[in-house]
């Protein structure tokens, strides 16, 4: 999942993150690794995520 952030995390960095899903209610807690990083954000590969929140995130467009 691509996540917009102002913090330039290095590829390979492991993160615990609280993601704001923009109006969906409560935040999504995830744990994972940065697989790509750019000036605008990072692509994360999740190792753990709250499944109900992840399902909610994947249906928001």
Examine the pLDDT at 12 and tell me if it is beyond 70: yes
Which is more confidently placed, 29 or 10? Answer: 10
Q: Is the pTM of the predicted complex or chain greater than 0.75? A: no
Examine the pLDDT at 50 and tell me if it is beyond 80: no
With respect to residue 43, please indicate whether it lies within any of the assigned structural domains: yes
Tally of domains within the chain: 1
Own/partner long-range contacts of 11-16 (Cβ < 8 Å, ≥24 apart): 11/35, 11/36, 11/37, 14/47, 15/44
Backbone φ and ψ of 60, nearest 5°: -80, 130
Examine the pLDDT at 29 and tell me if it is beyond 90: no
Supply the range of the domain harboring residue 24.
Answer: 2-48
Examine the pLDDT at 60 and tell me if it is beyond 60: no
Cβ neighbours of 25 (radius 10 Å): 8
With respect to residue 57, please indicate whether it lies within any of the assigned structural domains: no
């Amino acid at each position: 999942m691509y996540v917009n952030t102002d913090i330039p995390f290095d590829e390979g960095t492991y993160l615990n993150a609280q993601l704001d899903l923009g109006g969906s209610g409560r935040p999504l807690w995830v744990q994972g690794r940065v697989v790509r990083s750019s000036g605008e954000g990072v692509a994360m590969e999740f190792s753990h995520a709250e499944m109900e929140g992840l399902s909610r995130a994947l249906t928001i467009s």
